[in-house]
Amino acid sequence: MKSGVLLLAVLMLSVNLKAQTIDQGKTLLYYEKYKSAKAAFEKLVAANPNDVDAVYWLGQTMIMPDDKTAKDVADAKALYQKTLLANSNSPLLLAGIGHIELLEGKDQDARNHFETAISLSQSKSVPVLNAVGFANVNAKDGDAAYAIDKLKIATAVKKMNDPDVYVNLGDAYKKTGDGGQAQIAYEAALALNPKYARASYRIGKIYQTQGANQEEIYMKYYNEAIAKDPAYAPVYENLYNLYYTTDVPKSAQYLDKFLANTDDNPKNCYLRASILYAQALFADALKKADECIGSDPAPYPKLFGIKAYAYNKLKDSVNAKASFEKYFQAADTSIIGMGDYSTYASVLLKFPGNDSIAGKYVDKAVALDTLETNKVNYLKSMAASYEAQKKYKEAADWYSKVISVKRAPGKVDLYNAGFNYFRVASYDAAINVFNQYSQKYPDDAFGYYMAAKSKWGIDSTMAQALANADFEKTISVGMVDSVKYKPQVIGSYKYFVAYYANVKKDNAKAIEYCDKILSLDPADAEAASNKEALQKPARPAAPPKTPAKPAKPAKKN
């Protein structure tokens, strides 16, 4: 009897120790100390490879970081699949596999695994429902509405007391753009645990996304998060990034606090070099980056990127180009940003013959960026480069891309594309752009005028009268404000002077148009000269001249 009680006590202690260790690892994940959390779960898995809880969380340490690589995802997948061989009905591991599949873009496979996991746990397992919800929030292609549905079920489970569920629910609402419901969910997490800094931090993020005019509000919540838990590193990292371009000294202070409360890893060395770059200490940033690279057999890839940026600022294009190439070679594409591609493109343009390669990188930057202003700036840099080389057709193509990415392209955007097509006689393309101009700005004579000139370029003899209607429209619209549109109206009148004089042989009509020109500009010498010539009576045909006598043949020597 005593031995049985002793065995039961040992088993209970073992379970408690396991739970304590799992909780310790999850706490490290809460602080986003991925390296330490991974080490903690690796010990548990090494002790028991079939510990599905430890395996699930170990996989999460691989796929949670923002700078995770394709290899990290593949390693987590292999871990889950291996453990599932002996634990095929583990709901938590099936949820983990679904998470991996979302990251791989296999949405339907992921959904099937999520539904199986929920069914096996009879929709009553908070960890499983939370895992499904988190996966759909965390993965770019995850279904936020689906996450909301499953997380709400989790909150209704009897004795549910995990604030992480409510924070994930808030993140799901935030992903749908519903900041109000997101804040309610975060506040529910704080009701369960008033010291849960992650929830206060997330409320601050809602207001941060609304712009700098909300700084007083979001800083209130960030400071609350710090007060609740001064060791909560994510808030410091966020503030370091927030002030990186606007208040570098403040950014540096938050970076120091972040580094003091996070795992030591190669990325930290990059951050130290990065803040030197932000302080315009470009030579120091290069020195620090080289120190970091030299001290690590597998340096953080972005160190090569910071070197590239620093060399570029120091106007050393050769080393900037070389450093960017090392960066792109070493880094997983998931951590390469649009600014990296666009800056590399600007460096490439400094080397003749690299225009097309630079263009490919600009296209990558545009595809990644979500801000219209940034997309436009990337594209305009390419257009300006081609314009400077007098490659107007290529410039027009890039300006056309500006039109395609802007929700509301303006007159200058349309002009830049249309005029560059016009100047290289790509008349059909020019007409298309200037027709867009006129459709958007029907009271502006310029669009009709340039479409008319482009059609005149196609019908250079005026025999088909292709440009007539557009020149007439230019005049009717332009005469509403003949001062503003004087050049376009006069240009249209001059077309009709030539058309009636040369094609229709109607001098009287041509003279009418000369008079119209002179009424707007009495000093127009060309119109006055043309009118005088048109008023002269036609001369009778001259009699044929007597043919000259042929020259005598030259004498032979």
Give the pLDDT score at 6: 46
C-alpha span between 48 and 128 (Å, rounded): 21
Would you tell me how many other CB atoms lie within 10 Å of the CB of residue 268? 16
Q: Which distant-in-sequence residues (6+ apart) come within 8 Å of 241 by Cβ?
A: 251
Measured CA to CA, the distance from residue 200 to residue 224 in angstroms comes to 7
Residue pair 111/144 in contact (Cβ under 8 Å)? The answer is: no
Cα distance between residue 100 and residue 104, in whole Å: 6
Residue 508 corresponds to which tokens in the numbers above?
């009287």
Which residue segments constitute the domains of the chain, with CATH numbers given? Answer: 442-533 (1.25.40)
Considering only CA atoms, which of 78, 136, 131 is closest in space to residue 103? 136
pLDDT at 555: 42
Q: Report residue 521 CA to chain centroid gap.
A: 50
User: Is the pTM for the entire model greater than 0.85?
Assistant: no
Short-list 40, 104, 48, CA closest to 72: 104
**Residues whose CB falls within 8 Å of the CB of residue 48, separated by 6 or more in sequence, listed in order:** 54
Separation between Cα atoms, residue 499 and residue 493, nearest integer Å: 10
Q: Give backbone dihedrals phi and psi of 265, rounded to 5 degrees, phi first.
A: -150, 170
Q: How far apart, in whole angstroms, are the C-alpha atoms of residue 174 and residue 458?
A: 55
The 10s digit of each residue's pLDDT in 59-104 is 999 999 988 888 999 999 999 999 999 999 999 999 999 999 999 9
Please report the pLDDT score of residue 16 as a whole number: 47
In the numeric block, the tokens 């009576």 are attached to 537
User: Within a 10 A sphere around the Cβ of 5, how many other Cβ atoms?
Assistant: 9
CA R_g for the chain: 36
Which pLDDT score, from 0 to 100, does residue 528 have? 96
For residue 191, give Cα distances in angstroms to 161, 188, 199, 224, 526. Answer: 10, 5, 10, 15, 84
pLDDT tens figures, 517-553: 999 999 999 999 999 999 987 665 555 454 444 344 3
Alpha carbon distance 533, 513 (integer Å): 14
Report the distance separating Cα 400 and Cα 411, nearest Å. Answer: 13
Please classify residue 8 by burial: count the beta carbons closer than 10 Å to its beta carbon, then call 0-12 exposed, 13-18 middle and 19+ buried. exposed
Tell me which residue has tokens 């949820």: 95
Cα gap 378→548, rounded to integer Å: 71
Phi-psi region of 219 (alpha: psi -120 to 50; beta: other; left: phi over 0): alpha
- Write down the pLDDT at residue 18: 55
Q: What's the count of helices (H) and strands (E) in the chain, helices before strands?
A: 29, 0
What are the average pLDDT values for consecutive 10-residue runs of the chain, which has 557 residues? 46 48 95 96 96 97 89 96 95 97 96 97 97 96 97 96 97 97 98 98 96 95 98 97 95 97 92 96 97 93 97 97 96 90 94 93 94 94 93 96 96 97 97 97 97 97 97 97 97 97 96 97 96 82 46 39
CA distance 150 to 73: 24
